[in-house]
């Protein structure tokens, strides 16, 4: 019961406003950091997305050219889909698939940790196991997939030696499959943590009461645990979706640089000093990501649930 | 007053701790003002050629220390535009000059202050190797070498006293192959798109360099003869990208790469057997004991060249130190170091003095090695009897077809390249 009460009082906004004077003071340092290193850069990005540019400088202006350029040929489908739509479609697909798998795996790992592991020491130990994917650098991790999934890798060796396939399977690496695999491998933790947190706050006596009233395991899961885990699920989903939407390193390396991502387009534009174009792309990406998050928070009021 | 400003700048450039130690230790007996100005150079560049050995030797010879600001090629350019006072010296490529020079952020370098200027290879100054004209499509160094004055934002067509960059290093790039997996001779760029290597080819995903390799391939396939590969029209860009898009859709490429290490891994693991590659990547694959050839091709090489530039605000003692550093760089020890990595030094005669004659014969003359050839780090690169891929300096640099380039239609090219990636 105790964690629930503490959390409730911290996150319950109306309570906060009762102690108004000190709140302003307490939140001042973070507000300043937030304003200077988040809000102002964001406003600048927005402003610059309307500027003009040439090979070596950006020119203050108010033009829609950067946005028009992004959506050029996008509304006449005679030559197939335009790059921007294709790229966003591919990114959305990765989001959806990654979200689905991280949610399923993350939920059940959290479920196991919360309800089947009773000692705190073991919970901590198993949690640390979940962080193993983060122990090495991005590059090393990506490179390490080659000996596993590559043409001459372990998986293909297994397939060939057991006669499951007669030729090496190339879709294992540098494909949509390997991108999703890397995402799930990394970001499941982002689901586990908030869902586990929600689960730990479920009052065990509610579950006992459900048992006493004759509910079976599935009914308890569906009618009690999942609804009470909603905040954790939404927070985890926000983590996963925002990270995948902006990713270009994982998609780049695991996709063999042959799969487009918005992040990569922004990166290339920035390296060619097309900063206003990159800013315009960033604004659109931000808008879409915020839109998704807004929809998710419409489904559930996180503030209230916490 | 003037002195004061310079002194301030130099103090700012030196990191305090290193400055104090180096200043006190090395410049004893110098006037006080110098003692405080411990020479530390903030060196902006990719620093791929600047190992620990180079820094140590530099310090021993001149007392100058280098503080690296390591960035990728594109980021170096960006830094020159956006933070022109964040470095003392920049190591940049010539193909960035058409973008950089009009910004006025770089100083016209005074060739009179470069001791070895007259010995700089003719590949830079005249576009000739051994008296023979070499290919100059793209941003060949001679096109963007000379300036109309020290503060000029315009290129001069005739040699002048002021240049954009003092040349340091260059090379001729080609395709890398795995001879053990291909098992037949490769002699043309067209092989990159040969269906025989379906799913086993790669090209680099850096648009401005990738497009040049792509153009070499398209031309050697007989699809089109470019008037200037290094400055394509929109139509030519469309054509080039169409051919590569079709190949990509047909599954020709296993992967693209954008990081040097990726190219090494693709090749070493056998995922790819033929791809665009850079010289040190070949070395890296070979030092793992895996056969890898930097294959000379009949259509010639795609060359690149780099050099040192100074920010436009450089003057006084800061300029003295930078010129001293550059003169040291060209005085031979580094030249030999670069040659042993498979690059070429801009000043060849001084480099020769620091190389063993068997090394010189192998690297520069294309003769069979009379002893094992070692990398500067002491790893074995080639055994006795082996010949350098592509042969001698004259054979390799003499067959240059085009140079890394910045095109007039750069923006359009990048866009089309992105479309190919997304296709």
A109 assigned to some structural domain: yes
A116 and chain B in contact, CB less than 8 A: no
pLDDT above 90 (res B170): yes
Helix or strand run (H / E) with residue A10 = helix A2-11
Look at residue A97 in the predicted model and tell me its pLDDT.
Answer: 96
B99 touches chain A (CB under 8 A): yes
Helix ranges (H only) for B221-278 are 234-249, 260-268
**Domain for residue A96, yes or no?**
yes
Q: Is residue A194 part of a domain?
A: yes
Region of B300 (left: φ > 0; alpha: ψ -120 to 50; beta: rest) is left
Do residues B306 and B94 touch, judged by C-beta distance below 8 A?
yes
**What is d(CA A250, CA B318) in angstroms, rounded to the nearest whole number?**
43
User: Does the residue A256 lie in any domain?
Assistant: yes
pLDDT of residue A222: 92
Q: Are B245 and B420 in contact (CB under 8 A)?
A: yes
Assess A59–B contact: CB distance below 8 Å, yes or no.
no
Determine, for residues B257 and A257 on separate chains, whether the beta-carbon distance falls below 8 Å. Answer: yes
A contacts of B423 (beta carbons < 8 Å)? 86
Q: Is the dihedral of CA B15, B20, B26, B31 positive or negative?
A: positive
Nearest to A282 by CA among A296, A295, A265: A265
Alpha carbons A61 and A48: distance in angstroms, whole number: 9
Task: Check CB contact of B249 with chain A, cutoff 8 Å.
Answer: no
Mean pLDDT of the region B130-143: 92
Contact call for A56 and B410, based on CB within 8 A: no
CATH for A111: 1.10.3720.10
Q: What is the mean pLDDT of chain A?
A: 86
**Rounded to a whole number, what is the distance in Å from the CA of A22 to chain B's nearest CA?**
41
* CB-based contact, A147 to chain B, within 8 Å: yes
A101 within 8 A of A94, measured Cβ to Cβ:
no
Q: Count of A–B CB contacts within 8 Å?
A: 86
- B261 touching chain A per CB within 8 A: yes
Closest chain B CA to residue A57: B81
Question: What number is the average pLDDT over the span A205-215?
Answer: 91
Single pTM value for the model: 0.79
pLDDT in tens, B43-60: 998 877 777 888 889 999
Mean pLDDT score of chain B, rounded to an integer? 87
Contact map slice: A 178-217 vs B, CB within 8 A? none
Closest Cβ opposite residue B414 in set A150, A170, A268? A268
Residue of B nearest to A143 (CA): B265
Report CB contact under 8 Å: A257, B421. Answer: yes
B282-319: pLDDT as tens digits: 988 988 889 999 999 999 999 999 999 999 988 888 89
Lowest-pLDDT range, A202-211, B2-11, B349-358, B406-415? Answer: B2-11
* Residue A78 located in a structural domain: no
| Mean pLDDT on A26-42 | 92
User: Does any domain span residue A34?
Assistant: no
**B417 neighbourhood in chain A, CB within 8 Å:** 268
Whether A150 sits inside 8 A of B422 (CB atoms) is no
Is A2 a member of any domain?
Answer: no
Q: Domains in chain A: how many in total? A: 1
Q: Note the pLDDT of residue B31.
A: 41
A164 touches chain B (CB under 8 A): no
Q: Count how many Cα atoms sit within 13 Å of the Cα of residue B399 in the half-sphere of its side chain.
A: 16
Chain B residues inside the 8 Å CB shell of A269 = 414
The predicted-structure confidence for A112-161, as pLDDT tens digits, reads as follows: 999 898 888 998 899 888 888 888 887 788 778 888 998 888 999 999 99
Q: Does B269 reach chain A within 8 Å, measured CB to CB?
A: yes
Domain containing A105: what range? 83-305
Answer whether residue A180 is part of any domain: yes
Model-level ipTM above the cut of 0.85? no
Q: Which domains does chain B have, with CATH numbers?
A: 2-172+304-351 (3.40.190.10), 175-299 (3.40.190.10)
Residue B82 distance to chain A (closest CA, Å): 9
């Amino acid at each position: 019961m105790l964690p629930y009460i503490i959390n409730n009082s911290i996150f319950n906004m109306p309570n906060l406003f009762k102690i108004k004077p000190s709140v302003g003071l307490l939140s001042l340092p973070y507000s300043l950091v937030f304003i200077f290193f988040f809000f102002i850069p964001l406003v600048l990005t927005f402003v610059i997305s309307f500027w003009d540019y040439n090979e070596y400088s950006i020119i203050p202006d108010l033009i829609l050219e950067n946005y028009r350029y992004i959506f050029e040929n996008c509304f006449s489908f005679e030559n197939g889909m335009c790059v921007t739509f294709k790229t966003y479609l591919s990114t959305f697909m990765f989001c959806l698939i990654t979200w689905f798998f991280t949610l399923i795996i993350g939920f059940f790992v959290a479920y196991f940790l919360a309800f089947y592991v009773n000692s705190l020491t073991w919970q901590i130990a198993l949690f640390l196991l979940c962080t193993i994917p983060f122990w090495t650098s991005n590059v090393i991790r990506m490179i390490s997939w080659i000996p596993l999934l590559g043409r001459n890798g372990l998986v293909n060796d297994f397939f060939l030696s057991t006669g499951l396939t007669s030729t090496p399977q190339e879709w294992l690496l540098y494909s949509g499959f390997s991108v999703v695999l890397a995402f799930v491998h990394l970001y499941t933790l982002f689901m586990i943590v908030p869902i586990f947190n929600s689960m730990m706050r479920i009052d065990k006596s509610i579950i006992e009461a459900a048992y006493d009233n004759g509910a079976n395991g599935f009914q308890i899961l569906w009618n009690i645990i999942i609804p009470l885990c909603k905040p954790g699920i939404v927070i985890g989903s926000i983590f996963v979706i925002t990270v995948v939407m902006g990713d270009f390193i994982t998609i780049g390396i695991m996709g063999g640089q042959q799969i487009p991502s918005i992040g990569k387009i922004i990166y290339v534009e920035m390296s060619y000093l097309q900063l206003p174009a990159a800013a315009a792309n960033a604004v659109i990406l931000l808008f879409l990501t915020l839109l998704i998050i807004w929809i998710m928070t419409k489904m559930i009021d996180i503030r209230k649930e916490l | 007053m003037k002195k004061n400003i310079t002194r301030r700048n130099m103090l700012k450039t030196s990191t305090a701790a290193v400055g104090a130690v180096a200043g006190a230790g090395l410049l004893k007996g110098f006037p006080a003002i110098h003692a405080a100005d411990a020479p530390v150079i903030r060196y902006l560049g990719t620093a791929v050629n600047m190992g620990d050995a180079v820094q140590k030797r530099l310090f021993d010879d001149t007392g100058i220390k280098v503080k690296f600001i390591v960035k990728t090629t594109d980021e170096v350019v960006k830094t020159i535009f956006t933070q022109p006072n964040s470095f003392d010296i920049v190591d940049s490529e010539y193909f960035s000059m058409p973008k950089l020079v009009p910004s006025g952020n770089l100083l016209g370098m005074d060739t009179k202050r470069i001791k070895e200027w007259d010995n700089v290879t003719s590949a830079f100054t005249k576009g000739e190797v051994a008296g023979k004209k070499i290919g100059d499509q793209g941003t060949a160094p001679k096109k963007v070498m000379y300036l109309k004055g020290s503060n000029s934002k315009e290129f001069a067509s005739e040699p002048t006293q002021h240049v954009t960059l003092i040349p340091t290093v260059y090379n001729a790039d080609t395709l890398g192959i795995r001879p053990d997996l291909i098992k037949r001779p490769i002699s043309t760029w067209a092989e990159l798109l040969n269906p025989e290597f379906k799913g086993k080819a790669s090209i680099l995903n850096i648009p401005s360099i990738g497009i040049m390799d792509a153009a070499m391939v398209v031309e050697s396939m007989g699809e089109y003869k470019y008037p200037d590969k290094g400055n394509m029209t929109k139509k030519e860009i469309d054509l080039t990208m169409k051919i590569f898009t079709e190949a990509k859709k047909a599954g020709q490429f296993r992967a693209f790469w954008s990081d040097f290490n990726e190219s090494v891994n693709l090749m070493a693991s056998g995922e790819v057997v033929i791809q665009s590659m850079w010289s040190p990547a070949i070395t890296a694959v070979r030092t793992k004991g895996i056969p890898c050839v930097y294959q000379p091709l009949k259509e010639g090489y795609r060359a690149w060249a780099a050099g040192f530039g100074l920010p436009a605000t450089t003057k006084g003692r800061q300029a003295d130190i930078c010129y001293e550093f550059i003169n040291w760089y060209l005085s031979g020890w580094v030249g030999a170091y670069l040659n042993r990595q498979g690059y070429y030094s801009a000043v060849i005669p001084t480099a020769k003095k620091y190389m063993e004659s068997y090394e010189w014969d192998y690297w520069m003359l294309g003769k069979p090695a009379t002893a094992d050839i070692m990398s500067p780090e002491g790893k074995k690169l080639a055994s006795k009897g082996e010949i350098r891929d592509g042969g001698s300096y004259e054979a390799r640099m003499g067959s240059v077809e085009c140079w890394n380039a910045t095109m007039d239609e750069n923006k359009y090219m990048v866009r089309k390249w992105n479309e190919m990636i997304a296709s």
